[in-house]
Amino acid sequence: TVFHSDRGAQYTSAEYTKFMTDRGILPSVGRTGSRYDNAAAESFNAILKKELVNRKVYSTRNHAIRDVTARTGSRCDRKRLHSAIDYQTPNQADTEWRQQHKAAA
């Protein structure tokens, strides 16, 4: 898992970084002054809210988590084409990248 944030002090502190890495989460922060740095993440979140979250009323937090996890773990990776990766699915782009970067045997 990658957690991308801005350069706020709460996200760049040593304590926070340790908390994230201890849990197997890779902290990622945007470049200073780049308005495009978060564009892909912002677009993803906007689409997720518009197509899923804002159309439902969840009875519990766990129900919302299961619904979002099911959506992002299946449909988004296997069906949705993304302009930022040449109109491929994330799975297709990942497979292509891995094939191009195989270690020499």
> Tens of pLDDT along 8-49?
788 888 999 899 999 999 888 877 766 666 777 778 888 889
Whole-number Å distance between alpha carbons of 60 and 67: 11
CA geometry: angle 45, 51, 52, nearest 5 deg: 85
Threshold 0.85, pTM exceeds: no
Cβ atoms within 10 Å of 28's Cβ, excluding its own: 13
96: number of CA atoms within 13 Å, CB side? Answer: 9
Decide the pairing of beta strands 2-5 and 26-29: parallel
